Chains A and B, each alone.
Chain A
């Protein structure tokens, strides 16, 4: 089996500063991995590099064995959901936020029904009536789960989660993890939370832009 994500000796600089040095790792479909390390160690940069938001100085990133280039980036982005600490919903109401990607040409023909919206929310333990709430009035944890639900609705296979569980209580965190226990879904996350690290099969530790430790928990 070939890896879904592969970093091959990747170095990245941004604003004339080196942010990643010689990073190599591979992630297979269905695996759940966490990047940990001090703030500024380059954890989020790994996610951003995979999304083509940083320019790769040397080395290569592969997604399903396709090298990340200007011509493959759209395909990579379309398979990937990125959810940050304070996700941007990009619309006035939660319903519009969930439907936002379906305004774009790439997804226009897959617009979900109301029932599918509610089902996606329920998988993340969100009530159906949140649909009519204003995006600015829901909590950080709810925003993260709405953003996750949006990823599920898009049928994304790869989830890049940047400190997602920080705003969640134990119960919601378990709900999130239950969703991702699906062997079809691959997760690359940034986390500090020990409980989340425990749940991830692979832990990648970064220090000053270098990968210093790769630990396989063997339970995923």
Chain B
């Protein structure tokens, strides 16, 4: 059972649906035409490019090319995490890369090699979308973890110093903020698992059903991806924070000013 293609004329019809919200927004006095056009155009071009790229990736299906694609995704995610967390890439790029690469590769490998077991473990059809989904969620978690941790430390500078004065090591003194940051990072994933299927049908499952999969298979894959996201996010945020501790403090356990971007 193949999915029905959407031919070009009907694709144009689809864009026509945008006119309805555009008209409504215009009627209530919201002049968003420019933003809407930019948004729709960017989405279309970016996805078209990904489409071309993925088609090529799937046709060639070369292990090194698939690996390179994952490497590029990891690097983009790395820099994006640091920028959004307000940390200077100059100091943390390597630490964040190690943390996300280790966690993503481990959870993707676990899923593909041990659980799904395709004929070739490097099969682009499996590793590219799965690693991408895990990474996308992991990115959110790492932004939250780093941002929470370093803003809590700066906000509670005196409390942190008090812990040090009371004989705590750096690790003992940061532990309360460390725990809070990890909790904030993984909470959305845990809450997402708890409501999965009740509030909305998860995207990957919907896609697989549309693609012609048995609902049962789609359900199993959805469970698999959620467990991998949970494992990947938890490992990556803990590892990332832990590695950053060696960079963000001076030898006197004081947070270095220069590693954090000025707001």
Q: Taking the complex as formed, is A53 at the interface, i.e. its CB lies under 8 A from any CB of chain B?
A: yes
Contact between B167 and A106 (Cβ–Cβ < 8 Å)?
Answer: yes
Q: Taking the complex as formed, is A36 at the interface, i.e. its CB lies under 8 A from any CB of chain B?
A: no
Contact between B167 and A107 (Cβ–Cβ < 8 Å)?
Answer: yes
- The minimal Cβ–Cβ distance linking B10 to chain A, given in whole angstroms, is 62
- Contact mask for chain B residues 229-263; partner A; CB cutoff 8 A; 1 contact, 0 none: 00000000000000000000011111001000000
Contact between B165 and A51 (Cβ–Cβ < 8 Å)?
Answer: yes
- Contact mask for chain A residues 76-89; partner B; CB cutoff 8 A; 1 contact, 0 none: 01101110100110
Q: Taking the complex as formed, is A15 at the interface, i.e. its CB lies under 8 A from any CB of chain B?
A: yes
Q: Taking the complex as formed, is B46 at the interface, i.e. its CB lies under 8 A from any CB of chain A?
A: no
Contact between A73 and B252 (Cβ–Cβ < 8 Å)?
Answer: yes
Contact between A105 and B172 (Cβ–Cβ < 8 Å)?
Answer: yes
User: Which residues of B have CB within 8 Å of A15?
Assistant: 257
Contact between A70 and B166 (Cβ–Cβ < 8 Å)?
Answer: no
Q: Taking the complex as formed, is B161 at the interface, i.e. its CB lies under 8 A from any CB of chain A?
A: yes
- Interface of A, helix, strand, loop or mixed by DSSP: loop
User: Which residues of A have CB within 8 Å of B250?
Assistant: 55, 70
Contact between B166 and A154 (Cβ–Cβ < 8 Å)?
Answer: yes
User: Which residues of A have CB within 8 Å of B163?
Assistant: 90, 100, 104
- The minimal Cβ–Cβ distance linking B211 to chain A, given in whole angstroms, is 53
Contact between B165 and A81 (Cβ–Cβ < 8 Å)?
Answer: yes
Contact between A104 and B167 (Cβ–Cβ < 8 Å)?
Answer: yes
Chain A residue at minimal CB-CB distance from B158: A88
Contact between A101 and B161 (Cβ–Cβ < 8 Å)?
Answer: no
Q: Taking the complex as formed, is A30 at the interface, i.e. its CB lies under 8 A from any CB of chain B?
A: no
- Contact mask for chain B residues 136-159; partner A; CB cutoff 8 A; 1 contact, 0 none: 000000000000000000000011
User: Which residues of A have CB within 8 Å of B159?
Assistant: 88, 90
Q: Taking the complex as formed, is A52 at the interface, i.e. its CB lies under 8 A from any CB of chain B?
A: yes
Q: Taking the complex as formed, is B168 at the interface, i.e. its CB lies under 8 A from any CB of chain A?
A: yes
Alpha-carbon gap, A84 to B43, bound state (A): 55
The listed residue (B168, B252, B254, B257) touching A104 by CB distance below 8 A is B168
Chain A residue at minimal CB-CB distance from B161: A53
Q: Taking the complex as formed, is A150 at the interface, i.e. its CB lies under 8 A from any CB of chain B?
A: yes
- Contact mask for chain B residues 164-177; partner A; CB cutoff 8 A; 1 contact, 0 none: 11111100100000
User: Which residues of B have CB within 8 Å of A107?
Assistant: 166-167
Chain A residue at minimal CB-CB distance from B170: A74
Contact between B162 and A77 (Cβ–Cβ < 8 Å)?
Answer: no
Contact between B169 and A104 (Cβ–Cβ < 8 Å)?
Answer: yes
The listed residue (B165, B167, B252) touching A70 by CB distance below 8 A is B252
- The minimal Cβ–Cβ distance linking A140 to chain B, given in whole angstroms, is 14
User: Which residues of A have CB within 8 Å of B169?
Assistant: 74, 104-106
Alpha-carbon gap, A52 to B158, bound state (A): 14
Contact between A70 and B251 (Cβ–Cβ < 8 Å)?
Answer: yes
- Contact mask for chain A residues 86-120; partner B; CB cutoff 8 A; 1 contact, 0 none: 01101000000000110111110000000000000
- The minimal Cβ–Cβ distance linking A92 to chain B, given in whole angstroms, is 12
Chain A residue at minimal CB-CB distance from B162: A88
**In the complex where A52-B252, A53-B252, A73-B252 touch, is A84 in contact with B158 (Cβ < 8 A)?**
yes
Alpha-carbon gap, A51 to B160, bound state (A): 13
User: Which residues of B have CB within 8 Å of A154?
Assistant: 166-167
Please indicate which of the listed interface residues B162, B163, B166 has the most CB atoms of chain A within 10 Å of its own CB.
B166
Alpha-carbon gap, A78 to B253, bound state (A): 14
User: Which residues of B have CB within 8 Å of A101?
Assistant: 166-168
User: Which residues of A have CB within 8 Å of B165?
Assistant: 51, 77, 80-82
Which residues in window 15-67 of B have CB below 8 A to A?
none
Please indicate which of the listed interface residues B161, B252, B257 has the most CB atoms of chain A within 10 Å of its own CB.
B252
User: Which residues of A have CB within 8 Å of B253?
Assistant: 52, 73
- The minimal Cβ–Cβ distance linking B47 to chain A, given in whole angstroms, is 46
Alpha-carbon gap, A78 to B164, bound state (A): 9
Alpha-carbon gap, A78 to B166, bound state (A): 7
Alpha-carbon gap, A53 to B249, bound state (A): 11
Closest 9 A-B residue pairs measured CB to CB?
A70-B251, A101-B166, A106-B167, A52-B252, A88-B162, A104-B168, A88-B159, A82-B165, A104-B167
17 contacts between A and B (CB under 8 A): A51-B164, A51-B165, A52-B252, A52-B253, A53-B254, A55-B250, A73-B252, A77-B167, A78-B167, A87-B162, A90-B163, A104-B167, A104-B172, A106-B167, A107-B166, A107-B167, A154-B167
